[in-house]
């Protein structure tokens, strides 16, 4: 059957978008690594009190103290393995989101996804775990990036070369599936944050424009404004975490 002349030809995703440097992904990775090294240098990785001081997302906190922790906790990790697995997944999902939805779209997805994941985790633990509990880690925000990629694969299914949309979605689903599986086999893994992050990222990606080179409208003033606010919120929460951990504020 000859191709439909009105249908745009299939695209090679990365060749079409070009060599987009994933600066946003690298900034997040650098922030997580730097905070981890700060905590390790102060021997503050093992104690609940130490992680709480540095911004863990904890139940029973006043609203003002909870607000900055929603994003600050996404920069914290409880050990080398925790940081390693989140970092490797971030390096897979992050650059793809930056290419598909522009860098501003990355900040929106990561920031809003991180907040939704933290809020869902906080609500679940408050309702089902009596007493004090906390969570740390970037996985909820990273799952938001994964949710965005799954929706992107579906939206681009008629534009990608044969099998590429399925391959992209399958790779994300596989990585997300292993994350959920860990929640059932490893105590302390926050599957509620994972699920909320995945759902919020999918919802955001359903509304965001693609890069113009993929036929989208790119980042307009609304996307740029929202992305800037997300970046500002992430930077502010990180700074607050460092000041709190160092006992400056």
Q: Where are the domains of the chain?
A: 18-245
User: Residue 210: which region, alpha, beta or left (left: phi > 0; alpha: psi -120 to 50)?
Assistant: beta
Q: How many residues does the chain have?
A: 249
- 23-38: b or e for each residue (b if 16 or more CB lie within 10 Å)? ebbebbbebbeebbee
Per-residue pLDDT of the chain (249 residues; tens, 9 = 90+): 444 455 455 566 666 666 778 999 999 999 999 999 999 888 777 666 788 999 999 998 999 999 999 999 999 998 898 899 999 999 989 999 999 999 999 999 999 999 999 999 999 988 877 778 889 999 999 999 999 998 998 888 777 665 666 666 777 777 777 766 665 555 567 789 999 999 999 999 999 999 888 878 888 999 999 999 999 999 999 999 999 988 775
Please state, in angstroms and rounded to a whole number, the distance separating the CA atoms of residues 119 and 70. Answer: 7
pLDDT at position 18 is 66
Q: Which CATH number is associated with domain 18-245?
A: 1.20.1540.10
Using a 10 angstrom Cβ sphere, with 0-12 exposed, 13-18 middle and 19 or more buried, the burial of residue 164 is middle
Closest CA to 97 of 84, 120, 113, 118: 113
């Amino acid at each position: 059957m000859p191709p439909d002349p009105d249908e745009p030809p299939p695209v090679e995703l990365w060749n079409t978008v070009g060599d987009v440097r994933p600066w946003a992904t690298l900034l997040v990775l650098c922030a997580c690594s730097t905070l981890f090294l700060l905590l390790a240098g102060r021997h503050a990785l093992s104690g609940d009190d130490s992680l709480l001081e540095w911004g863990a997302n904890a139940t029973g906190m006043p609203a003002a103290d909870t607000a900055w922790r929603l994003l600050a906790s996404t920069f914290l990790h409880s050990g080398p393995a925790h940081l390693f697995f989140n970092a490797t997944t971030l390096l897979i999902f992050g650059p793809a989101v930056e290419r598909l939805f522009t860098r501003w779209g990355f900040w929106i997805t990561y920031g809003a996804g991180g907040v939704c994941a933290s809020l869902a985790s906080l609500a679940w633990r408050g309702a089902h775990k009596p007493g004090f509990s906390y969570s740390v880690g970037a996985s909820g925000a990273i799952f938001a990036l994964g949710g965005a990629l799954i929706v992107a694969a579906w939206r681009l299914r008629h534009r990608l070369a044969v099998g590429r949309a399925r391959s992209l979605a399958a790779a994300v689903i596989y990585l997300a599936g292993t994350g959920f599986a860990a929640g059932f086999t490893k105590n302390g893994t926050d599957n509620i944050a994972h699920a909320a992050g995945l759902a919020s990222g999918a919802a955001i990606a359903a509304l965001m424009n693609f890069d113009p080179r993929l036929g989208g409208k790119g980042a307009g003033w609304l996307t740029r404004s929202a992305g800037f606010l997300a970046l500002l919120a992430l930077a502010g929460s990180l700074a607050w975490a460092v000041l709190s951990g160092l006992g400056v504020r």
